[in-house]
Structure 1
Amino acid sequence: MTGAPRTPVELVEVGPRDGLQNEDRALPVETRVALVERLLDLGLRRLEVASFVRPDRVPQMAGAEELLAALPDRSDATYVGLVLNRRGAERAVLTGCHELNMVVPVTDTFAVRNQGADTAALLEQARDVVRIGHEAGRTVSVTLAVAFGCPFEGDVPAARWRDVVDRALDLGADELALADTVGVGVPTQVEELGSHVAQDARAAGLRFHFHNTRNTGYANAWAATGLALREGASVALDASIGGFGGCPFAPAATGNIATEDLAWLLRRGGVDVTGPARLDQPAAAEVARWLSERLDSPVQGLLVPAGDFGGPA
């Protein structure tokens, strides 16, 4: 990308939610609050911190309201809460959650397995979530799960994802996210799907969520960055400290792309980042190690064992 115009990329830290929800050990609320505080100290400012789901289904996310009440009240931070339906949105707007993130799987099979309703029904619920959020003065994003491939239905035909994207853009959300939920996507798909959304006038914001299940997560993130540079727009990229996380429908998955690894890639590539423009790599590695100890689970990112390296400032 030498010589290309420098366009900001926003890092969205999803470790406190997606990084924890699939781990065997459920962390208490006070430990999750401490994690958010450490991430804020790194300079991360948009963080997905909670999931408003049934605690008997996802015990790792229990106590969402208690968590939001205990987080630092900072004017420079955006706390994001994931919701799966109207009820989740109604819970979220009663807390200090600044942004609601509604998930709509692109395939019916995944939608029913994950949320108990097909894609069309969830798009209707998403319309209500957008209304509920906006009426409460919150921003709302819609994430299209399994947009790059489904563990049950396989490849998603272009006609299918185009139709779902079209209906999702009509919802009036503040941002649309394309999620490679089970880590099967490749850069050519990022280009195809991302360009389709970026060139639509209804797209207020574009975000990507990549898993590194098959070691393509960082290549996909770089492709998304290139797309933003070429289109002259900004793009948000989800990442999780330490690379923790995963999908219960993707056995043996390695989880999300790691925040510290992604930040290193962008820094070395000369790409501006909204938020921690110069993420302190040793400090980020220390947070990843701290979380690893509490989860009794190894760090998935590679920068922690490999260490930082010099290069372009």
Structure 2
Amino acid sequence: MNTNNKMILPSKAIICEVAPRDGFQAESEWIPTETKIDIIRQLAKTGVQSMEITSFVHPRAIPQLKDAEEVVTQVQDLEEIKFRALVPNVRGAQRAIDVGIKKLKLMLSATDSHSLSNANCLVKEAQEGFAPIIELGEKHGVKVGGSISVAFGCPYEGNVPEERIIEIVERYKKLGISEISLADTSGMANPKQVYELLGLLTNEFSDITFSMHLHNTRGMAFANAVAALQQGIVHFDSSIAGLGGCPYAPGATGNIATEDLVHGFHEMGVETGINVDQLLITAKDVQRKIGHDGGSFLLQSGPCSELHEKPNTQEKLNT
């Protein structure tokens, strides 16, 4: 028990901006390549140091990202940003490496139902196919990280047993993967579940760095982020203006908005190195360019520091 009545949290957190991949892929209307590049450049001005810039999937699977090579090529001058890309297979990994991506993220589901919908194969089959991608990364000096979609609940199968997640993490570890993203793809997680699963994983796999990829489908993403912080997790994904959604998860909505996550962390004394005011400027511009936002609270209400004019108390006293 914490007897000093203070919540113990990390002093810093690292945010990876995923709108250029997760946010854009959910949009049915074509976003011009120039617009994508402009948004990425605006995001770079906020202080974001890490970005999931695209996915090298087949254009038929996600037409919105068919310009992946061009987007990456056009932002190579943003050397202060660590870019990563999602890859489904060796072909996608090679495409990413050819245009200069230095970090790859593997695609994997926690359940067979979601895996069949997303990758047309069972979970174990998908994970067994990762070895050539990892070997390719090693050959080119490119880091490879893992991910587990629907880790906290599947829209087809419901609750995902902890044993299933442990089994997947163990297979990742045998492949030499030391970073794993846990995704609440359908927004089915709750803080108690997040806290307990992360406690189990961080105790059992102390040599693996876990990160959180949270969707705000049911309004619990920030509470889940706080639960993760309490377990010492400091790596989080988020999307400007709350854009995003998985095409293969029915009912999935946007990621937690970057401006909401950063603002909330800063209010609790957890620094990110990101400027909230600049984030809001960018979020408003993204909202205008895309035509909507994904449920950003800060876009609606502004930061806590944005106070309103006080009522005239003297005028009240004189009446």
Do these two structures clear the TM 0.5 threshold for a shared fold by scoring above it?
yes
- 1:285 matched residue in structure 2: 280
Please list, as runs of the form range in 1=range in 2, the aligned pairs for 1:141-152 lying within 5 A after superposition: 141-152=145-156
What are the residue-to-residue correspondences of 1:38-77 with 2, within 5 Å?
Answer: 38-77=42-81
8 Å Cα contact 1:19-1:240 kept in structure 2 = yes
Shift of 1:3: 6.4
**Mean CA deviation greater in 248-257 or 57-66:** 248-257
1:28 corresponds to which of 26, 32, 51: 32
Q: Is 1:261 aligned to 2:260, yes or no?
A: yes
Q: Distance in 2 between matches of 1:3 and 1:109?
A: 39
For structure 2, list consecutive stretches of 5 or more residues without a partner in the other structure. 307-319
Match of residue 240 from structure 2: 241
Deviation at 1:198, TM superposition (A): 1.7
The alignment's TM-score, normalised by the length of structure 1, stands at 0.91
Deviations 1:97-155 (A, max 9, x none): 12101011011111111011111111112232222212211111111011111111111
Name the TM-score, length of structure 2 as normaliser: 0.89
Which residue in the other structure is 1:99 paired with? 103
In structure 2, the partner of 1:154 is 158
Query: Which whole-Å deviations, capped at 9, do the CAs of 1:217-236 have from their partners, x for residues lacking one?
Result: 111111111111xxxxx521
> Which whole-Å deviations, capped at 9, do the CAs of 1:158-188 have from their partners, x for residues lacking one?
2222211221222212411111111101112
- What do you get for the CA RMSD once the two structures are aligned? 1.8
Query: What's 1:231 paired with?
Result: none
SS of residue matched to 1:215 = coil
SS of match in other structure, 1:238: strand
Answer with 42-51 or 68-77: which moved more: 68-77
SS of 2:52's equivalent in the other structure is: strand
Task: In structure 1, give the amino acid aligned to 2:183.
Answer: A
| Cα pair 1:126 1:142 within 8 Å, conserved | no
Q: Does the 8 Å contact 2:114/2:249 carry over to 1?
A: no
Letter aligned with residue 77 of structure 1: I
CA-CA distance at 1:194 after TM superposition: 1.5
- The 1:125–1:144 alpha-carbon spacing in structure 2 relative to 1, beyond 3 Å, is same
Cα offsets for 1:234-278 (capped at 9, x unmatched):
5210000000011224444431000000001100111132x42xx
Answer yes or no: is the 8 Å Cα contact 1:175–1:203 preserved in 2: no
Look up the match of 2:129.
125
Decide which of 2, 21, 29 is 1:17's aligned counterpart: 21
Tell which deviates more after alignment, 52-61 or 161-170: 161-170
Counting only pairs closer than 5 Å after superposition, residues 157-306 of structure 1 correspond to structure 2 as 157-201=161-205, 203-228=207-232, 235-273=234-272, 275-276=273-274, 279=275, 281-306=276-301
User: Cα distance 1:93–1:174, how it changes in 2: closer, same or farther (>3 A)?
Assistant: farther
Q: Which amino acid aligns with 1:184?
A: M
Query: How many residues get paired?
Result: 302
Answer with 1 or 2: which has the greater Rg: 2
Q: Is the 8 A contact 1:20 1:26 kept in 2?
A: no
Deviates more, 1:284-293 or 1:126-135: 126-135
Equivalents in 2 of 1:291, 1:3: separation in Å? 34
Contact 1:16 1:36 in 2 (8 A): yes
Counterpart of 2:98 in 1: which secondary structure? coil
CA distance in 2, matches of 1:282, 1:270: 17
Separation (CA, whole Å) in 1 of partners of 2:278 and 2:294 = 15
- Of the candidates 295, 303, 307, which is equivalent to residue 302 of structure 2? 307
C-alpha change, 1:28 and 1:102, in structure 2 (3 Å) is same
CA contact (8 A) 2:26 2:244 kept: yes
Cα distance change on mapping 1:149 and 1:122 into 2, 3 Å = same
In 2, distance between residues paired with 1:21 and 1:137?
28
Partners of 1:147 and 1:5 in 2: CA distance: 23
Distance 2:72 2:251 in 1: 31
